[in-house]
Amino acid sequence: MGMTITEKILADHAGLDGVEPGQLINARVDVVLGNDITAPLAFKEFEQLGLDRVFDRDKIVLVPDHFTPNKDIKSAEQARALKEYARRYQITNYFEVGRMGIEHCLLPEKGLVLPGDVVIGADSHTCTYGALGAFATGVGSTDMAAAMATGEVWFKVPETIKLVYHGKLPRWVSGKDLILHTIGLIGVDGARYMAMEFTGEAIDNLSMDGRFTMANMAIEAGGKNGIIAPDETTLQYVRERAGREYKVYQSDPDARYARVIEIDVSKLEPVVSFPHLPENTRFVSQAGHVDIHQVVIGSCTNGRMEDLRVAAEILKGKKVHPDVRAIIIPGTQAIYMQAIKEGLVEIFVEAGAAVSTPTCGPCLGGHMGILAKGERAVATTNRNFVGRMGHPESEVYLASPAVAAATAIAGRIAGPGEVL
């Protein structure tokens, strides 16, 4: 019996000829990631082991991105601790404010994650890197500490759900709409501790930016990881960035799947997830009249160049509604600079939007856009739980950059066709 791409990667990293779902393994890791919230906790656990060095200082990546630029004294202390640990253990890949980015945008951009890797990160959206054909998943700070010490981590091999997307995407329908629609179909626990393998014609024609968005939100369906087998689109992206060797894996034709789900994308339209779960999806045409106070375009889900270009296409020559705060956050410094070169930042500012340096910021209710009681936001972020972006009586609606930009203009949830 054949194996899925996820099973093949895990088998190779465990030194085994094959693995089966449910099997417990120890696997070597290629990348260990931490941020300003989770890594200081991991290093405290690491130091209790009495070690004076990490397993490989080149394979650990530290990115202060959640509460940075430091929003208060506590966040400043966290960021300082991260920097001090990076210096103490001579971590090669530490990215300070001004050189950093939102971690899950930054690592692929820097070529730090490659096809076939096993990546763990003390952040749940580490699953983003599955877009490159890597096995990537979030872990707790204790597991991060153990991996920094040993270079290994234990897994239960997940079952795999195969998602096949047929057809051609309609205008304004993006990877964000595909993953929101999928979560709406299967629910926030529909892929619990499973690999979500995204395939089909629509995926083949999806950009890398769109693929990162889809893999990023596998966790919102309960997935252990999301993954897309590398193709020429992937390899073109990787060749420009890779500084080390990598291995491309593909699922076998006779691989076993727990479930196969087929979706015709040609019938889709932009999707909105209503509070307070990502599974509460509606097409934008079914949203009704929902007044909005804030729009956020950015995050590790939708802070890439394609996202900013779509937003700028809609906002160009128009104005943000007087009752709306529009906040746009490029995912990395390189993306920010490219947006400046292309004139996108000028479009945003002239429209009446605020443009921020890269930060996770409002996505987790950190800073740069906290909601007051009763306020509603449309955000290109990944979660809309109670209190996610501020007051527990605020509301977050998840959508694509196209819907978010249109909403900023209309002052209510709207699709691009309503404002163009």
Q: What residues of the chain score a pLDDT lower than 50?
A: none
Q: What are the start-end ranges of the E strands in 209-344? A: 225-227, 259-264, 271-273, 281-283, 294-297, 325-328
* Domains of the chain (ranges, CATH numbers): 5-262 (3.30.499.10), 271-414 (3.30.499.10)
> Residue 319 CB: number of other CB atoms within 10 A?
14
* pLDDT score recorded for residue 127: 97
CA torsion through residues 184, 387, 331, 80, sign = negative
Q: Output the six-digit token pair for 184.
A: 């709406």
- Cα–Cα distance measured from residue 340 to residue 396, given in angstroms and rounded to the nearest whole number: 28
pTM for the whole thing?
0.94
260 phi and psi angles, rounded to 5 deg: -120, 125
Q: What is the pLDDT of residue 148?
A: 97
